[in-house]
Chain A
Amino acid sequence: GEDVEQSLFLSVREGDSSVINCTYTDSSSTYLYWYKQEPGAGLQLLTYIFSNMDMKQDQRLTVLLNKKDKHLSLRIADTQTGDSAIYFCAESLNTGGFKTIFGAGTRLFVKA
Chain B
Amino acid sequence: NAGVTQTPKFQVLKTGQSMTLQCAQDMNHEYMSWYRQDPGMGLRLIHYSVGAGITDQGEVPNGYNVSRSTTEDFPLRLLSAAPSQTSVYFCASSYGDRDGYTFGSGTRLTVV
Contacts and interface: CB of A to CB of B under 8 A. Distances in A.
A42 B42 contact: no
A44 B103 contact: yes
Give the secondary structure class of A's interface.
strand
A98 B100 contact: no
B103 A103 contact: no
A104 interface: yes
B106 A42 contact: yes
Interface residues of B, number: 29
A43 interface: yes
Interface stretch (B13-21, B43-51, B64-72, B73-81): B43-51
A98 B94 contact: yes
Interface string A22-59: 00000000110101000001111100101000000000
A60 interface: no
B40 A104 contact: yes
Interface of A: 4, 6, 8, 30-31, 33, 35, 41-45, 48, 50, 88, 90, 92, 97-105
Interface of B: 4, 31, 33, 35, 40-45, 48, 50, 56, 58-59, 90, 92, 94, 96-106
